[in-house]
């Protein structure tokens, strides 16, 4: 009988069974995983060991076959393996190459840009900050202050410094109607642009300014002289139904360094100056020096607030840099439209009509950080207002002028009807609108509906009473009387 080849990872049983003087050869191959031999296994009972090619009795063959079959069933219970293909004894198989070990993939080490003690749980590894030159490491000129141009190219004015006035869905040279709410003619001109607004929406300076891009301030041009040219394309942008403010927009002076910066040195330190524009608005017919407002900005647009309704104004812009002022733009006229009687309640010219600028004590739950104004009202409470701008503010109430001013809670909404406290008919816009359980519990006044007297107590979490960061009621504070 020819020899049978053996293969790694398999067990070959060559069994002879004597049956009617014939040798029945049974070949059974059971695949098993390769294991490392344990020297201790060699001490097992040699009686159970069967040499390959030895003849067995019927009892031995039955025992071995049943054991082999059960082992095959148990080994395939969890995962089925394909049946082995029978190979003729005379066809030797090529020996398998030994398996190559799989290299362990290791995560690369991070770059050495962190500081901190490795292995410390309470030490957060942070990127190492770049070193900055100190005052002692900067060479200081010993001569007098001088101004020189840097090597960086001058950044020309870009179209992004002004809104896209060709967008007719936002801007128009003509209003929706030629007359205002009082039937008076609206002002038009080549330098005037109108924006639309829904009638039931309060006027908002904040929302209007979202359409005007801000300058990134990246220009580092050094000024060598005052501006030589005026700003160009001065435009008056007004919102229909909002006579209390306009947005003035212009373009940077051409071929000038007004929007650049200036660097000067002395023996002790260096200074960086940013150029500005002076925006001048004057009420026509007012005495010289009266009702004239001058504001400064480093942007190419500016808001002029607290304008009187149905009043004529003149606007112009003066460029400047640290070396002086340049020529101004031509003066542009404009007349505001009439006030909407549906917004503001009628106010007498008596003592209760005027907002007075007084600093008062209040909590810090407010988005507005500007000036504070106080007015006495008909419901025997002092109303305190802190400005974000003249049309967005935080409203407070107090029992006395020198006492603390408290937030106002709303049991049915988010303070929309609190615009009544600033003499507005509108249910205004408010923010930030959070659920009462998201607000801290504080002391304050509260009510449920307009005209209802206010009560004092806890508002905020667990009270189902909301309060907000700001109000927009359509009426200006302090306004013009």
Q: Which residues of 223-240 are buried (b: 16+ CB within 10 A; e: fewer)?
A: beebbeebbeebbbbbbb
Q: Are strands 312-321 and 332-335 parallel, antiparallel or unpaired?
A: antiparallel
What's the pLDDT tens digit per position in 414-443?
999 999 999 898 899 999 888 888 999 999
Q: Rounded CA gap, 344 and 424, in Å?
A: 5
Q: Which phi and psi angles does 215 have, rounded to 5°?
A: -75, 135
Quick one: tokens of 386? 């802190």
pLDDT at 309: 94
The pLDDT assigned to 140 comes to 41
* Portion of the chain with pLDDT greater than 90, in percent: 44
Return the pLDDT at 73: 39
* 31 closest CA partner among 66, 82, 67: 82
Count Cβ atoms below 10 Å from residue 402 Cβ, excluding itself: 9
This prediction's pTM: 0.61
- d(CA 282, CA 293) in angstroms, rounded, equals 6
- Give residue-wise pLDDT tens across range 287-307: 776 688 999 999 999 999 999
Strand order of the sheet with strand 382-389?
A: 356-357, 372-376, 382-389, 392-398, 470-472, 429-431
Backbone angles phi, psi at 229, to 5 degrees: -130, 150
Render pLDDT for 324-362 as a digit per residue (tens, 0 to 9): 999 999 999 999 999 988 787 655 544 445 899 999 999
């Amino acid at each position: 009988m020819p020899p049978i080849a053996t293969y790694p990872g398999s067990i070959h049983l060559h069994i002879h069974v004597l049956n009617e003087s014939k040798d029945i050869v049974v070949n059974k191959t059971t695949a098993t995983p390769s294991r490392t031999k344990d020297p201790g296994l060699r001490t097992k009972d040699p009686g159970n060991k069967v040499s390959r090619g030895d003849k067995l009795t019927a009892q031995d063959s039955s025992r071995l076959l049943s054991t082999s079959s059960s082992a095959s069933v148990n080994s395939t219970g969890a995962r089925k393996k394909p049946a082995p293909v029978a190979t003729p004894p005379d066809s030797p198989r090529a020996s398998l190459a030994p398996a190559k070990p799989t290299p362990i993939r290791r995560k690369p080490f991070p770059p050495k840009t962190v500081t901190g003690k490795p292995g410390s749980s309470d030490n957060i590894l942070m990127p190492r900050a770049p070193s900055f030159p100190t005052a002692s490491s900067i060479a200081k000129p010993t001569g007098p202050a001088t101004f020189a141009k840097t090597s960086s190219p001058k950044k020309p004015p870009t179209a992004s410094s002004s809104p896209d006035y060709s967008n007719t869905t936002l801007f128009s040279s003509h209003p929706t109607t030629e007359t205002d709410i009082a039937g008076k003619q609206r002002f038009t001109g080549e330098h005037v642009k109108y924006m639309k607004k829904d009638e039931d929406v309060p006027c908002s300076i904040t929302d209007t300014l979202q359409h005007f891009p801000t300058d990134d301030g990246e220009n580092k041009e050094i000024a060598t002289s005052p501006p030589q040219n005026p700003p160009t394309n001065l435009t008056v942008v007004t919102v229909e139904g909002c006579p209390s403010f306009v947005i003035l927009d212009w373009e940077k002076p051409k071929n000038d360094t007004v929007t650049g910066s200036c660097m000067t040195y002395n023996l002790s330190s260096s200074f960086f100056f940013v150029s500005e524009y002076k925006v001048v608005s004057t009420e026509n017919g007012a005495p010289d020096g009266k009702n004239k407002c001058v504001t400064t900005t480093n942007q190419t647009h500016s808001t002029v607030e607290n304008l009187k309704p149905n009043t004529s104004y003149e606007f112009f812009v003066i460029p400047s840099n640290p070396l002086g002022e340049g020529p101004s733009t031509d003066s542009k006229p404009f007349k505001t439209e009439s006030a909407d009687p549906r917004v503001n309640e009628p106010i007498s010219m008596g003592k209760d009509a005027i907002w007075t600028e007084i600093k008062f004590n209040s909590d810090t739950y407010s988005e507005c950080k500007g000036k504070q104004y106080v007015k006495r009202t008909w419901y025997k409470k002092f109303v305190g207002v802190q400005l974000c701008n003249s049309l967005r503010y935080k409203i407070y109430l107090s029992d006395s002028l020198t006492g603390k001013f408290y937030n106002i809670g709303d049991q049915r909404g988010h303070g929309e009807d609190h615009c009544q406290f600033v003499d507005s008919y509108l249910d205004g816009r408010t923010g930030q609108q959070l659920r009462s359980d998201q607000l801290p519990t504080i002391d304050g006044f509260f009510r449920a509906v307009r005209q209802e007297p206010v009560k004092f107590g806890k508002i905020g979490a667990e009270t189902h009473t909301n309060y907000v960061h700001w109000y927009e009621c359509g009426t200006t504070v302090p306004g013009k009387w």
